[in-house]
Structure 1
Amino acid sequence: MFGGGHSFFCIFLLFLSLALFVLKMPLFINRDRIFAHQVHLLEHKLRSKEERILELETQNAILHLRLAECLEKLHLEHEEETEAQNLQLQQRNAQDLTRTALVKLLSEVQVLKQDLSEVFAVYVSFSTELEEQSKQLLEKVERASTFLNGHHGDNVQDLQARVAALERSLEEEKERCGAERQRRKEIHNTLVELRGNIRVHCRVRPVLPFDNIQSLTSGSRPASSEQVVYAISDDTVMVNCQKPGMSVQNRIFEFERVHGPEDSQDVVFEEVKPLLTSLLDGYNVCIMAYGQTGSGKTHTMMGSRLPEENSATQQEAQQGIIPKAAAELFRLISEKPEPSHTVEVSVIEVYNNELFDLLAKDEQGNVVGQRRDVITTSSGTSQVPSLTYEPVCNASEVMQIICTILKLRTRCPTLVHTESSRSHLIVTLTISSKSPNALALTRRLQSAKKDMLHSTMKDRWSPRCHRANPTAHYSLSTSPASSPCLSPLDSPCPSPRHSISQTPFRTRLQLVDLAGSECVGMCGATGGALWEVSCINRSLSALSDVLGALAEQRPHIPYRNSKLTHLLQDSIGGDAKLLVMLCVSPTQRYISESLQSLGLGTRARQVQKEPPRRKNNTLKVK
């Protein structure tokens, strides 16, 4: 016990001494180092805590992501279960609806079966009744036939024979009437050919949208878009003339051919095509479109241009007389020997009573319209010196040239039409026959003989053959400054040194699209446009005066009153074949202009031109 207490006491003393030693240590140890050490330890612990916090946050984020994935899976599973339940519900509803519909259909089928059975019963009763009535009727018919055969058989047979004879007679009369009509038409056409009258066709266009546009002129009432011009047959036009306070009066105009609004471009050209055959037989041909602005002249002569997506057949169907005539001309030439014919094209515009060559080119080769003049040669034919001619080999080249120069034609919008042509356009195709046939030679010799007799009467004949060639003005080399005595090749009187077969024979196809004829108030022209309208109306009036002078057979024909009539002198007054295509608007709004056009056509039909000279097929020239 004692020993243990002693040891404890010793240990106590040792700790006491150690404590005293420690209390004395600050006198010898630096406190700053201790504090720095403690701060270092604390910072180390802080970093450890921060790392631990970051690690815990990372784990927390991972746990949040896993929780979101679990929630999304639970949501998807819930939606799938909901969709499955909805689908099952819809299927159940559809099955219920199907069952309901089937039940309803079954009930309706049963009702229909019942109705059908009732109808069948009615049908059976009706059929039975019908059979009985049929038997009764058959019995009555048999009794009636027996009665007729027994008592009136002879009379019935006589009546039947008379009816058959009358039917045969009616058929024979119809055949005779058709034959007489065809014969009358042929005789009429032959008479027109022999007399050489001007052919006049009329085309009535359909009612167009711009016809409904009302136009008010000073002191006038609104014009009506009611149709008053009708093509009642293939050769007759009827106009309903309505005047205030008076009853409607119908005026009838007859022409060689009348085309209604339903006639296509092909139908119109079929009536024109026979004239083209005369070109290669030695005749000049002129086709002229006359009418007011908007009546369809340019559509008739040139055609309408459809969008490019339309087929080639539709584009060709809308072509006018000019492209179709060019195609037909080259088709006729293709049937002849290849080197026998050549074709040249020239285009003239008559604007403000002045002639412009639309094929003339400047120094840079650009096509520009140059002014030209028309003269009368010593033989009495018209000629345009320095006129430009372009050689062509097919119809596409002709149309390419025409489409190029159409941009130069003078146009101006009016109250009647947005693209009104303010000038006369003359397209001329000159055909040169290098080896003229006997028909053309006959006509040439007869023409030369007549000219010689005519010159002898006027004491103008000379041994040098002073007369100019009637067809020499088509030659490019001929000019006003050249000598009036032409070479033997250009002279109409053949010399012994030169055979006629060496002389080229020339004919012309003139296609004329005239400017519109209307009054100043109708077109709404003002300022400088008034002069244009005045020149157009004066030239058309001059054309009417020429036709009137020819119809009345006056000694003087006023061709030189206008450049237009002076240029077309050979086509109007010579032995050329002239066709005037009257284009007429059908509505009341343009009735004055329509009557004026129809009146000019009637006057043109009265012209008796020089009879065409008959050609002798037996002529032989060596």
Structure 2
Amino acid sequence: MRPRSRLDLGSVWAQRLRQLEQRLRTKEERIVVLETENAALHLKLAEYQGLAGRSTNEVLQLYSAHGQQQKLQRSSVVTQLHGAIKRLKQDLKSLHSFALELSKDFQRQSKTYLHRVLTAVQGVQLQNEAMQMFQIKAFDLEQTLQEVTERYEKEKQKRRALHNSLVELRGNIRVHCRIRPLLPLDTAAGHSVSQDRQRNLPEKVTYAADDETVLVKCSRPGHASINKTFQFERVYNASESQEVVFADVAPLLTSLLDGYNVCIMAYGQTGSGKTYTMLGPQLEENTAYCTENESELGIIPRATQEVFRLISEKPPGSYWVEVSVVEVYNNEIFDLLAKDSCGKVFGVKRDVVTTKEGKRDVPLLVYETVENTSEFLHLVNKGLQLRVRHPTLVHAHSSRSHLVVTLTITTVVSGDNFSMSWEDEQTSQRLNKEVSWTFPQKMRDNTSTSSSRASSPTHLEATEKIKQVKTSLQLVDLAGSECVGMSGVTGAALRETSFINRSLSALADVLGAIAEQRTHVPYRNSKLTHLLQDSIGGDAKLLVMLCISPGQKYLTESMQSLGFGTRARQVQRGQVKKKNFPLPSKAK
């Protein structure tokens, strides 16, 4: 092994030596090339130095000759300069005389223009004085106009208040009309409104002429346009908000706690904005109640907020509120708060009957006690999830039933005009508190019925001097009337449309019978009119909110709705009855 390793090292060193020798030869060859180039450069340098010496001599010779030439040129230049100076002096004299003439002319023109400016300034001052006088007059006119406008608004409010009082004395139905804005669904193919205008598609034909007048432009091909007007207690244009609409509804809620029943009903064709007006967009789409955009809330949530606000100003424990939610679908009444044995909410069919006292009642209807707006909206939202909705060509979320939400307010009051000692008054307050808290708890624990809301037998003797006065607020979102040809419904949806139109026709027949003071009013022709008989027949302050679509293609349906509102406004039912609240008189 050792001799072989020595042999290997020797070959490696020999190879390394050969490489070094090769590199040495390469360097030596490079040195020879560089030396050759250096010698060539030295030769060129010597050659350039010789040329530079000869060039210097030539330059010196040229410079001397150029100096003589420059002297000659300088003398000629000086001569030329003297001549130019003479000419410039002559030109300067000419310019000086011209400048004097210009100065004199400028002074003359300046005087002329100064006179004109002074005249113009005087004219401007006169105009400013006149403008100030006009501004003073305009300010006075604006103040006068503002005062007249304020007086007009006050007089209009007084006139409206007097008109509402007259309406109440006559028992008339209040009719408000709301015209919604143009929407994409108003077009034949779902294009935007601007595209419709560009394509000359039907335009808006129904307007709010003022806050009490609706203007409709009726036109047919080949005929002149005819303007028709309709008068109502209040008319809302497309730009007026939910808050403005509710502001005219709120006074009715005050009378609710004064002992009057109240009914607010939205009427109109499919897609005219009834559900939006009554519920708002949050509840309209069956989503959970959200307070992020309270400006969009409809009449139902706003009315509940107002009711609980009014109750909060009353003595605690003297009021409680119950709510029921029903729908009238295919001429059948369904309880949307009924629960099965597992506690799941589902619609249960109910019926409406007439009690011995001549009032309408729905046996076994569920009444849930609520203590605030959130609880109420939670229950309403549950009911809305069961409400029947089907898409049509007119509306993608068309309601196929009439929705009736009822708030029943129970007021605990003392007996008729009896005297009480101090001890009796304390006992009455204690019993009053027991009644106000015992009944709501029973209704939360058990499914409430008409009979379950009666006084407890154990407290019957103790509460002989305690009375309960009930008033109700009915909030009705009617299903929309629609033309079968326009909605494009078939099958089961066609049957629904038939029932909807039939029930709305029955409602119109009832109002017509009351207006004509017929001896027989056909309330039983429809479950809807039978259920609302007490409200329609004069036991409640009734407000009908007409909802109108402004487009040309809905003109027939809009005219039908406006005609319905006009007939409803002419109904005189007599003064609405008020529930009596007996107040105790203290013994002195």
TM-score, normalisation: structure 1? 0.64
| Partner residue, 1:240 | 217
Distance 1:169 1:609, change over 3 A: same
| Partner residue, 2:94 | none
Distance 1:253 1:391, change over 3 A: same
Distance 1:314 1:259, change over 3 A: farther
SS in 2 for 1:574: helix
Distance 1:255 1:42, change over 3 A: same
Distance 1:555 1:50, change over 3 A: farther
CA distance in 2, matches of 1:438, 1:199: 33
Q: 1:132 aligns with which of 103, 107, 115?
A: 115
Q: Which runs of 5+ in 1 are unaligned?
A: 1-39, 61-123, 143-165, 216-221, 440-474
Q: 1:523 and 2:498 equivalent? A: no
Are 1:438 and 1:618, in contact at CA under 8 Å, matched by a contact in 2? yes
Q: 2:314 aligns with which of 329, 336, 341?
A: 336
Distance 1:175 1:357, change over 3 A: closer
| Partner residue, 2:184 | 209
Q: 1:426 and 2:401 equivalent? A: no
CA distance in 1, matches of 2:142, 2:450: 70
Cα deviation digits, residues 310-363 of structure 1 (max 9, x gap): xx8761101000110000000000000010000011100111111110000011
CA distance in 2, matches of 1:56, 1:602: 121
Distance 1:261 1:314, change over 3 A: farther
- The one-letter amino acid paired with 1:331 is R
Are 1:356 and 1:370, in contact at CA under 8 Å, matched by a contact in 2? yes
CA distance in 2, matches of 1:505, 1:47: 124
How far has the Cα of 1:567 moved from its partner? 0.4
Q: 1:539 and 2:503 equivalent? A: yes
Cα deviation digits, residues 503-525 of structure 1 (max 9, x gap): 11001011111111111111110
Are 2:214 and 2:231, in contact at CA under 8 Å, matched by a contact in 1? yes
CA distance in 1, matches of 2:413, 2:203: 56
- The one-letter amino acid paired with 1:538 is R
Distance 1:524 1:621, change over 3 A: farther
Are 1:214 and 1:224, in contact at CA under 8 Å, matched by a contact in 2? no
Identical-pair percentage: 56
How far has the Cα of 1:436 moved from its partner? 6.7
Distance 1:614 1:433, change over 3 A: closer
Distance 1:530 1:125, change over 3 A: farther
- The one-letter amino acid paired with 1:228 is V
Q: 1:294 aligns with which of 271, 281, 285?
A: 271
How far has the Cα of 1:609 moved from its partner? 1.3
Deviates more, 1:192-201 or 1:229-238: 192-201
- The one-letter amino acid paired with 2:163 is H
Q: 1:369 and 2:347 equivalent? A: yes
Q: 2:450 aligns with which of 455, 471, 478?
A: 478
| Partner residue, 1:304 | 281
Once the two structures are superposed, the pairs formed by residues 464-475 of structure 1 within 5 Å of their partners are none
Q: Which runs of 5+ in 2 are unaligned?
A: 21-106, 126-140, 191-198, 418-446
SS in 1 for 2:309: helix
Q: 1:196 aligns with which of 171, 177, 185?
A: 171
Are 1:224 and 1:587, in contact at CA under 8 Å, matched by a contact in 2? no
- The one-letter amino acid paired with 1:247 is A
CA distance in 2, matches of 1:398, 1:325: 11
Are 2:414 and 2:582, in contact at CA under 8 Å, matched by a contact in 1? no
Are 2:508 and 2:564, in contact at CA under 8 Å, matched by a contact in 1? yes
SS in 2 for 1:338: coil
How far has the Cα of 1:252 moved from its partner? 0.4
| Partner residue, 2:513 | 549
Are 1:224 and 1:589, in contact at CA under 8 Å, matched by a contact in 2? no
Q: 2:9 aligns with which of 48, 53, 57?
A: 48
Distance 1:167 1:45, change over 3 A: closer
CA distance in 1, matches of 2:384, 2:110: 79
Q: 1:409 aligns with which of 366, 371, 387?
A: 387
Cα deviation digits, residues 395-435 of structure 1 (max 9, x gap): 01111111122111101000011111111111111100012
CA distance in 1, matches of 2:214, 2:415: 41
Distance 1:177 1:131, change over 3 A: farther
SS in 2 for 1:425: strand
CA distance in 2, matches of 1:189, 1:127: 77
Cα deviation digits, residues 200-228 of structure 1 (max 9, x gap): 0000000011212349xxxxxx9953100
Cα deviation digits, residues 102-148 of structure 1 (max 9, x gap): xxxxxxxxxxxxxxxxxxxxxx9999767524655799999xxxxxx
Are 2:524 and 2:530, in contact at CA under 8 Å, matched by a contact in 1? yes
| Partner residue, 1:272 | 249
How far has the Cα of 1:301 moved from its partner? 0.6
CA distance in 2, matches of 1:195, 1:127: 86
Are 1:288 and 1:513, in contact at CA under 8 Å, matched by a contact in 2? yes
Cα deviation digits, residues 82-113 of structure 1 (max 9, x gap): xxxxxxxxxxxxxxxxxxxxxxxxxxxxxxxx
| Partner residue, 2:539 | 575
CA distance in 1, matches of 2:584, 2:549: 52
Q: How many residues align?
A: 445
Distance 1:134 1:352, change over 3 A: same
SS in 2 for 1:511: strand
Q: 1:503 and 2:481 equivalent? A: no
Q: 2:522 aligns with which of 558, 566, 570?
A: 558
| Partner residue, 1:611 | 575
How far has the Cα of 1:571 moved from its partner? 0.6
Q: 1:260 and 2:248 equivalent? A: no
Are 1:223 and 1:589, in contact at CA under 8 Å, matched by a contact in 2? no
Are 2:202 and 2:551, in contact at CA under 8 Å, matched by a contact in 1? yes
CA distance in 1, matches of 2:151, 2:462: 56
Distance 1:351 1:173, change over 3 A: closer
Q: 1:385 and 2:363 equivalent? A: yes
Cα deviation digits, residues 144-197 of structure 1 (max 9, x gap): xxxxxxxxxxxxxxxxxxxxxx99999999888777655433432221121121
Are 1:489 and 1:503, in contact at CA under 8 Å, matched by a contact in 2? no
CA distance in 1, matches of 2:260, 2:160: 23
CA distance in 1, matches of 2:305, 2:377: 10
Are 1:434 and 1:503, in contact at CA under 8 Å, matched by a contact in 2? yes
Once the two structures are superposed, the pairs formed by residues 101-140 of structure 1 within 5 Å of their partners are 132-133=115-116, 135-136=118-119
Cα deviation digits, residues 251-303 of structure 1 (max 9, x gap): 10110000001100100000000000011111111111111111111110111
RMSD: 4.2
CA distance in 2, matches of 1:540, 1:125: 93
- The one-letter amino acid paired with 1:132 is H
